Structure 1
C-alpha cells in the first residue's frame, strides 16, 4: 500500500482557490513563506483579475500544492510517489525533497514570465475528449494541409483526452474539425500561453540557463517526470525536467500508469484540482483516487489512512 501525491496544472485554478486552503498553521506558514520569498502577498494572486496572468496562476498552483503536501506530512502522511502535470511538477519536486520551496517559487515565477513574454496574447490550449492521440494527430495533419496555422499536441492526459496548443483562431477551427470527426467535447482551457510545444523553445533555453545554479537533490521517494512519464532518481534529471517541460508534450497518462504499476494504491490530488482524480478513477477504478479540494483535510487524512491500512 503506497501513497502518491498528484499536483494539477494550469486550468485547475479558480478565483479564491488560495483562500479556500484549509485553516491550518502549516498552511498559513506556507503562505507567509511564499509572500516573503516573492515580496508580495500571494493571497492577492487568486482574484479573477489576477488569474488572467499565467504568472499568478503558476505561482498560486505551486503554493497550493506545497501547502497541501506539508499539511499531509504533518499528519504523518508522506507520499512514496510525487508527480505533477506541467507546472504541477514544481510542487511535486518540493514534496519529494528534490527542490527547496523558495527556489521552486523563484524558478516558476521566471518560467511563467518567460512564457508570458514569449506569447503575451492570442494563444492557448484546448482539450479534446473522445479522440485518441493518433486520431488527433491525423486531424492536425489535415488541418495543416488545408492551410491552417500549426497546432501541437501538448498533453496526453488519458488515452482519449488530448490537449492541443496553438493560436486562438487555429484552436477554434481545430475544435470544429475535431467535433465533426467525432470528439465528445472540445473545451478551451483557462490557459493564456501555448504550453508544451516548440513555440516555447526559446523560453526553455532561457530558463535552462537561468536555473543552472539552483540546487537540486536526489528525491526522497519516487519523482515521476512529465516528458517521459518515468521515475527520475537524481537532482540533475529533475532540474532538466522542470527547466524544459514547457516545450515538450506532457505524457501524464504514462506517469499515472507507471506510479500505479510501481505500487501506488492511494492517489491524492492537491488543491485546486479534480481532473487528475477523475482520470485515475475512470481508467484505474481499483485504485483509491481522492481530490483534496472536495474533502475537509481531517476527513481526507482519515480516508487515506484507512485506504493505506495504517493507524
Structure 2
C-alpha cells in the first residue's frame, strides 16, 4: 500500500471539541498526561472549559502538538510522509520519533516562550488571499510587513505591526483581495522580527537529544518542503523557521511527489486538508476531526 501523508496543523484551529475521537483513545493517554503536566490541567478539560483561552502562544502551541501526537499515538502508522505547519513542524518531528511526546511538548512550551520574549510589542500576523505578488509586494513595502508563510501563489500569511497590518488588509481588499484578515496569533512568527529566538531554540533542540526518524517515515522540512535526511541540518532549519518564511505550498508539493494518494490532517482544524485537496483525487484529503471514530479513520486510510 502506498503510504499516506500526515499533516500537523499550526495555531488557529483550536476549539472545544478538537480532540474528538482521540479523547477516549487509551493509546493517547500518555500524551494527554504529558500535556497536563505543562498546562496544569488535562487538555481535554481545558479546551471544553467555557471562556478558556486556547489561543495564547504557550497554551496554543502545546495544544496543537498534543493534538498531533495524540492522533499519531492512536493511529500508530507504520509508514507515511509527515509535514507540519509552523508549530506543526515540531509536532511532526515528535510523530517521526525524533523526540518522544513529553520532550516534544516541553520543546513546544520553550518555543512559545522564546518567541514571546523575542517578539516586538504590538505585532502579529494576517492572511491575504486572492492577490498576486506583483500587487501585494508594494503594499508590504509601504506598510513594513513581510511574508511569513506561502500557502499558494495568491495565498500568503504576512507579519508586521498591528496598525500597519490593519491598514494593509484594508488596502489589499481595495485592490481586489478575496480575503484579508488578522489571525489570532500575537507574535510575527516566521519573520525577521523573531531572529533573537532562533539560536536559543536550536540549542534547546540539540540539548533534547534528537534521534533519527523511525524507519518507514519521510519527514519534510517547512522551509522548502524537502525531505530531512541530515538531522543536524534539519535542526538548524527547524529553528530558523521561527524567523524565516515557511513554504507550505512546497510541503504540499512534496507530499504529492512522494506518491501519497491520501492525506490526513491530524489537526486541530481542517485548513491544511482544504489546502491539500486540489493536489489529490476528490475525497483523498481529509481531516481527523471529520471522522466519528478511530476505526473510521483507519478504514479510510486503508481504503
TM-score (norm 1): 0.88
Q: Which residue of the partner structure matches residue 199 of structure 1? A: 193
SS at match of 1:279: helix
Q: Summarize the alignment of residues 230-245 of structure 1 with structure 2, pairs less than 5 Å apart.
A: 230-245=226-241
Q: Summarize the alignment of residues 140-179 of structure 1 with structure 2, pairs less than 5 Å apart.
A: 140-141=140-141, 143=142, 148=143, 150-179=144-173
CA contact (8 A) 1:219 1:233 kept: no
Q: Which residue of the partner structure matches residue 309 of structure 1? A: none
CA contact (8 A) 1:204 1:243 kept: yes
- How big is the shift at 1:219? 1.8
Q: Which residue of the partner structure matches residue 178 of structure 2? A: 184
Distance 2:251 2:235 in 1: 17
Q: List per-residue Cα deviations over 1:215-251 (Å, max 9, x = no partner).
A: 1122232100111221111322332233221111010
Distance 1:241 1:166 in 2: 22
Judge which range, 94-103 or 38-47, deviates more. 38-47
1:259 aligns to 2:255 (yes or no): yes
CA contact (8 A) 1:3 1:78 kept: no
Q: Which residue of the partner structure matches residue 303 of structure 1? A: 300
SS at match of 2:140: helix
Q: Which residue of the partner structure matches residue 223 of structure 1? A: 219
CA contact (8 A) 2:67 2:266 kept: yes
Q: Which residue of the partner structure matches residue 67 of structure 2? A: 64
CA contact (8 A) 1:123 1:192 kept: yes
Distance 2:4 2:54 in 1: 31
Distance 1:92 1:134 in 2: 33
Judge which range, 280-289 or 79-88, deviates more. 280-289
Judge which range, 48-57 or 109-118, deviates more. 48-57
Distance 1:266 1:120 in 2: 40
SS at match of 2:188: coil
Q: Summarize the alignment of residues 1-311 of structure 1 with structure 2, pairs less than 5 Å apart.
A: 1-15=2-16, 17-18=18-19, 21-36=22-37, 38=38, 40-43=40-43, 45-46=46-47, 47=49, 48-73=51-76, 77-119=77-119, 121-141=121-141, 143=142, 148=143, 150-220=144-214, 221-285=217-281, 288-296=284-292, 297-306=294-303
Distance 1:9 1:132 in 2: 24
Q: List per-residue Cα deviations over 1:144-174 (Å, max 9, x = no partner).
A: xxxx3x1010000122211111111111000
Q: Which runs of 5+ in 1 are unaligned?
A: 307-311
Q: List per-residue Cα deviations over 1:265-304 (Å, max 9, x = no partner).
A: 1110012121111111134445710100111222121111
Judge which range, 203-212 or 169-178, deviates more. 203-212
CA contact (8 A) 1:42 1:60 kept: no
Distance 1:287 1:213 in 2: 42
Distance 2:146 2:21 in 1: 34
Q: Which runs of 5+ in 2 are unaligned?
A: none
The two structures, once aligned, show a CA RMSD in angstroms of: 2.1
Distance 1:28 1:219 in 2: 23
Judge which range, 13-22 or 160-169, deviates more. 13-22
CA contact (8 A) 1:54 1:112 kept: yes
Distance 1:9 1:216 in 2: 22
TM-score (norm 2): 0.90
